[in-house]
């Protein structure tokens, strides 16, 4: 049996604390809270958050990486799994948000 990876970009496991602001499709800022990254790739990440995030919502995120704060903007793709009060959520970075 083959256990090959079908993803376009390799995901790397990582754990970083973050805060986020959810902006809905109408541009309303709805929720501000904290969470953490679970994995990242060149164009996205999986987050663990405590609030419902709808597909198409925008997240304004600040991630703490060592001694730096990194600001990111991403669009929600889907809720991967909900366990107790935590939601595992997939986030996509638009090409325009990625710096060369």
Q: Is residue 20 part of a domain?
A: yes
Task: Tell me the C-alpha distance between 35 and 49, whole Å.
Answer: 5
Q: Which of 69, 82, 7 is nearest to 39 (CA)?
A: 7
pTM for the full predicted model: 0.72
42 occurs within a structural domain: yes
Q: Measure the CA–CA gap between 51 and 87, rounded to whole angstroms.
A: 7
Per residue in 27-78, pLDDT tens? 999 999 999 888 888 777 888 888 777 888 888 999 988 899 999 888 877 6
* φ, ψ for residue 43, nearest 5 deg: -125, 15
Asked if residue 28 is part of any domain, the answer here is yes
Q: How far apart are CA 29 and CA 24, in angstroms?
A: 7
Backbone angles phi, psi at 21, to 5 degrees: -125, 125
User: Does residue 47 form part of some domain?
Assistant: yes
Instruction: Assign residue 51 the CATH number of its domain.
Output: 2.40.10.220
pLDDT band at 6 (very low <50, low <70, confident <90, very high): low
């Amino acid at each position: 049996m083959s256990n090959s990876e079908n993803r376009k970009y390799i995901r790397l496991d990582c754990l970083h604390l973050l805060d986020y602001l959810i902006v809905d499709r109408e541009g309303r800022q709805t929720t501000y809270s904290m969470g953490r990254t679970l994995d990242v790739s060149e164009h996205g990440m999986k987050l663990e958050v405590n609030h419902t995030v709808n597909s198409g919502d925008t997240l304004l995120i600040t991630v703490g990486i060592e001694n730096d704060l990194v600001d990111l903007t991403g669009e929600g793709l889907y809720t991967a799994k909900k366990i107790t009060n935590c939601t595992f959520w997939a986030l996509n970075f638009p090409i325009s948000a990625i710096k060369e």
